[in-house]
Amino acid sequence: EAMCSGKLQTGLLVAGYFVYLLVGAAVFQALERTAEKQEKMAAAQMKEAFLQTFTQLTVAEMEQFMKNLTEAIQNGVYPVGNESQLEESNWDFSNSFFFAGTVVSTIGYGTLHPRTAGGQIFCVFFALFGIPLNIVFLHRVGKMLSLLCKKLGKFLYEKGMRKKKIKFLTLLFFLATGILVFLCLPSVFFRITEGWSYSEGIYFAFITLSTIGFGDYVVGKQSDRNYFSYYRVLVAIWILFGLAWIALLFNL
């Protein structure tokens, strides 16, 4: 009977999971398809206007120009601005540290990636050993934070509170504190530094700490903004401790 009940629960979970994915896919399609069509039409109109303005270009030359421009952007090269902006490196220490953090945390935004054979091979071995190391690190930090949970629980128990209530209040405390420290406050910081809206900051923080990492919003990538030194290093540290907080929540 217990086995049948377990199979039923597993079946319902699998069915619910796929239904959830299907509903989500339908909603995304409904929300995004029209906007995508409008963007494609706008791009086609822009391309046509460019051809009409620069009549000396052939269609084949225009296609090649667009292809080269797209490849450059995909490779993290934005051919805009003056020469000083073009000379700025995507692989300075701050950016490299940030990239290393996104590798071991498996976020992988995709906006910055190694292009050389040596860099790619090194990235494989760096991730091979770095990801388990990151798991051990998060486990240790989570363990340290769990000691705070125990101390808080012991304090509340001495005050005569029941164990079930203590567990609930402890989870609520670390959930609320984490949301404030790792989602709300950083979003204010991103709003000031990146010029994003507060909702965009919340969105970026959640997508990052959940390790989804779409790459549509990435810190320190806007050419018209002056970022302070080691800005992305601080963001990488925030990511690591934010992941530790999430690991603690799962443990709780």
In the chain, the amino acid numbered 186 is P
Cβ atoms of 109 and 102 closer than 8 Å:
yes
Cβ atoms of 187 and 225 closer than 8 Å:
no
* Eight-state DSSP code of residue 216: S
Report the C-alpha gap between 222 and 215 in whole angstroms.
Answer: 13
List CB contacts of 88: < 8 A, sequence separation 6 or more.
Answer: none
SS3 content of the chain, % helix, strand, coil (to 5): 75, 0, 25
Torsion of CA 210, 216, 221, 223, to 10 degrees: -160
Domain 91-251 fold is: Helix Hairpins (1.10.287)
Instruction: Determine the pLDDT at residue 77.
Output: 62
Cβ atoms of 190 and 224 closer than 8 Å:
no
Give the CA radius of gyration of the chain.
24
Cα Dmax for the chain: 85
CA distances from 108 to 99, 101, 135, 220 (A): 8, 9, 16, 15
Which residues does the chain have with pLDDT short of 50? 82-86
DSSP string, 14-60: HHHHHHHHHHHHHHHHHHHHHHHHHHHHHHHHHHHHHHHH-TTS-HH
The pTM score is: 0.78
Q: Of 240, 230, 200, 231, nearest to 217 (Cα)?
A: 200
In the chain, the amino acid numbered 72 is A
Instruction: Determine the pLDDT at residue 86.
Output: 46
Domain ranges of the chain: 1-80, 91-251
Instruction: Determine the pLDDT at residue 84.
Output: 45
Q: How far apart are the first and last CA of the chain?
A: 30
Report the C-alpha gap between 86 and 229 in whole angstroms.
Answer: 18
